[in-house]
Structure 1
């Protein structure tokens, strides 16, 4: 039964999740990195704040969204360190692939990566970089719960997590094809 204050898209996403047919795309921007002199961008480590915030992101994932079925992570050092610290907070470690296409990717390139994911994957987690992740969320979110879309438009800071829900296989995901259900910025 639909509540009067819920948009049909919100109720459809909740119904799909209850029926087990929904797909969730969870997007995690890497935690705050350091800028050491002479270190190439790809090799920048997490900074002190990032070392605190990455576990908080893991606790958020564990407490609110559960363990993903698959993690696709940029091979950059700061994304790998973010995932290592976040995943330590989960009950179990999901399958992980470091995909070089995620480093420096724009929204369309990220969408192409997502479309290749097996239909058996119900919850996919991307760990990557801005502006690509923010632009991906804005590209595929056709609607949002509450002010989630405006919050992403305003700022998608380090350690931010966005959750998008949809029905159907990953290969069919296109612009406007998902509901942005949640946005959070965990801090340690």
Structure 2
């Protein structure tokens, strides 16, 4: 059996409001991108059973918009340690994950390093290594248990950024 991971960087956030970084919400472009991504994932049939997201406002809003566009009802966990989490912190979340199709919604730079460490071969996409806002990696792992997932074992199924979605 395989497990599927959907790794999403939060959508574009606003710098206009005088909030602290943790409280920043999405801007209009980010809202549009998150909805477009949700529609795209639904079309592909990549709807997660469980979503783990940072507890920052922009990751929560990204998650809510994606899930609403999919018309799905996954279990959603907000995890404080994912806020600006490192690749090892994200591995820790993944290895404790429940579900066959799991989404993680997090931040750069940790998510970019994590994505690179996940896959056995990077996708042929010019934006993979910098992992821009709302970038999304879909990859499969040859395991029955997330606790057994190991570095460089993920098989890339898809990688997309908002500009690829023709919003």
Compute the TM-score of the two structures, normalised by the length of structure 2: 0.90
CA 1:105–1:93 in 2, change beyond 3 Å: closer, same or farther?
same
Q: Secondary structure at the match of 1:89?
A: helix
CA 1:102–1:42 in 2, change beyond 3 Å: closer, same or farther?
same
Structure 2 residue 142 is matched with structure 1 residue 162 = no
Q: Secondary structure at the match of 2:134?
A: coil
Q: Is the 8 A contact 1:141 1:179 kept in 2?
A: yes
Q: Distance in 2 between matches of 1:116 and 1:37?
A: 35
Q: 2:105 aligns with which of 127, 131, 148?
A: 127
5 Å-filtered alignment, 1:134-173, equals 134-144=112-122, 147-148=124-125, 151-153=127-129, 155-168=130-143, 169-173=145-149
The structure with the largest alpha-carbon Rg is 1
The C-alpha deviation readout for 1:123-145, integer Å capped at 9, x for no partner, is 1000111111111110111124x
The C-alpha deviation readout for 1:143-180, integer Å capped at 9, x for no partner, is 24x515x6412x31111110111111211112112112
Unaligned stretches of 5+ in structure 1? 1-20
RMSD between aligned residues: 1.6
Unaligned stretches of 5+ in structure 2? none
Size of the alignment, in residue pairs?
163
Q: 1:46 aligns with which of 15, 21, 26?
A: 26
Dislocated runs of 4+, deviation >3 Å = none
5 Å-filtered alignment, 1:95-110, equals 95-110=75-90
Q: Secondary structure at the match of 1:126?
A: strand
The C-alpha deviation readout for 1:93-145, integer Å capped at 9, x for no partner, is 11111111110101111001101123xx111000111111111110111124x
Q: Is the 8 A contact 2:13 2:58 kept in 1?
A: yes
